[in-house]
């Protein structure tokens, strides 16, 4: 009965993922498939670096560095809430745009993961995630012109891991909408969508102790980004 319920749940969530993919077809870390159990908390520090994210048409590319305090809470054994709070910056450079660097200011995010599999027999885990990050850096004044900008990043992802002792490598796919929104001299906001809307994920959890782990994760195709963090499990 438990197996059948898991199959029905996975089928339903796969449909949700497919619909989300086709409707969004974004750089928020996925967190991977290692989720806290019901009533448990995972806290830590995370650094997220977007080396290159290309925008559509001739709107150029953006770079961003973000630093967060992360928290994940197990609402149920199969469902966890993920939240983050920190700071981030943006650098925008394009064909018809001069290079503009926006200094560090508020950044935050939230989301959740749903456990699809946690097999002791196969030492494998799988999770479906939905996450959002927003970065609101400082305004920039260049030659008396005031530039405002923020990143609006939505993501759906599916990750799978396999345990090898203290190491849990994971891979996955993601569909994302990573927009840059900007405003020059208060002339009205303009939203620039990404050039590519989907990519792949590869990462690893290194368990230093039962309650302490290091997580690294890279994103490719739609963007080139890397995140790393250290976490404590309560």
Compute the average pLDDT of residues 127-133: 94
Place of tokens 């745009």: 97
In this prediction the pTM is 0.80
**pLDDT tens-digit map of 10-34:** 434 433 333 333 333 335 788 899 9
- Pairing, β 167-184 against β 140-142: unpaired
Q: Torsions phi, psi of 36, nearest 5?
A: -70, 145
Q: In this model, does residue 95 exceed pLDDT 80?
A: no
Alpha carbon distances (Å) from 170 to 31, 54, 233 = 10, 25, 19
- Give the whole-angstrom CA distance, residue 14 versus residue 212: 31
For a pLDDT cut of 70, what percent of the chain falls above it? 87
Domains and CATH numbers, the chain: 2-233 (2.40.160.20)
> Cβ distance 86 to 96 under 8 Å?
no
* Mean pLDDT over the full length of the chain: 85
Q: Report the pLDDT value the prediction gives residue 52, as an integer from 0 to 100.
A: 86
């Amino acid at each position: 009965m438990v197996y059948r319920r898991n199959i029905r749940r996975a089928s339903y969530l796969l449909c949700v993922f497919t619909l989300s993919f086709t409707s969004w077809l974004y750089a928020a870390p996925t967190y991977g498939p290692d989720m806290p159990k019901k009533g448990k908390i995972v806290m830590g520090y995370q650094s997220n670096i977007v080396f290159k994210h290309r925008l559509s048409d001739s709107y150029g590319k953006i770079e961003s560095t973000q630093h967060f305090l992360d928290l994940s809470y197990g609402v149920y054994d199969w469902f966890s809430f993920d939240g983050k709070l920190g700071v981030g910056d943006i650098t925008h450079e394009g064909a018809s745009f001069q290079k503009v660097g926006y200094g560090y200011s508020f950044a935050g995010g939230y989301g959740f993961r749903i456990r699809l599999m946690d097999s002791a027999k196969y030492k494998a885990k799988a999770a479906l995630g939905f996450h959002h990050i927003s970065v609101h850096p400082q305004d920039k004044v260049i030659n008396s012109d005031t530039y405002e900008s923020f990143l609006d990043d939505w993501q759906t992802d599916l990750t799978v891991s396999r345990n090898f002792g203290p190491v849990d490598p994971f891979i996955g796919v993601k569909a994302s909408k990573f927009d840059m929104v900007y405003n020059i001299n208060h002339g009205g906001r303009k939203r620039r969508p990404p050039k590519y809307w989907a990519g792949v994920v590869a990462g690893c959890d290194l368990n230093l102790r039962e309650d302490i782990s290091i997580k690294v994760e890279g994103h490719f195709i739609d963007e080139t980004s890397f995140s790393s963090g250290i976490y404590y499990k309560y």
